[in-house]
Amino acid sequence: MATLINSKVTDFSAQAYHKGEFRTITQKDLQGKWSVFFFYPADFTFVCPTELGDMADKYAAFQKAGVEVYSVSTDTHFTHKAWHDTSDTIKKINYPMLADPTGHLAKFFGVYIEEEGLAYRGTFLINPEGKIKLAEVNDNGIGRNADELLRKVHAAQYTASHPNEVCPAKWQPGDKTLKPGLDLVGKI
């Protein structure tokens, strides 16, 4: 399987449910800002609302970091609205919920489960130039953590603005970074 890291996001047009309205989102909406695509299997399920609720709770922190979040499933935008209207957890969501009923996005990102018509739990960070900088895929029984994703977003943004530095394990904004070079070889 080829990696998506540093590849450009495919052209797409998707319907979304966002703040009580249906709207169209395209790859042009990603230009000039950081974006997270947060794939999940299906609306009205079990692990999914815990993850989307966690992301909703951290959404202001992502926005403060200049990141737009897009949740994506193979459900329709109508199903997203119905779920939003009936679930207290999903009512908290202020980020766009993208509909991918054809699986176009899920297939591009490599998370489409052909025999089920659903997506694996894929998380992708896209930089302002439209390149994928983080790609993680979990099996559907394994929920994700918005705090850890936010930490990785900060690390990706830091290394983008400091190309001669790298962020070590557990790095948090304000922590020391590393400057790769011969003087560090064998000393870490």
Catalytic residues: 48
* AA identity, residue 27: Q
Separation of alpha carbons 15 and 25, rounded Å: 6
Of 42, 181, 165, 170, nearest to 112 (Cα)?
42
The two three-digit tokens of residue 57, written as one number: 């709770």
CB 97 within 8 A of CB 17: yes
CA dihedral over 69, 72, 77, 78, signed as positive or negative: negative
Six-digit token string for 17: 């449910």
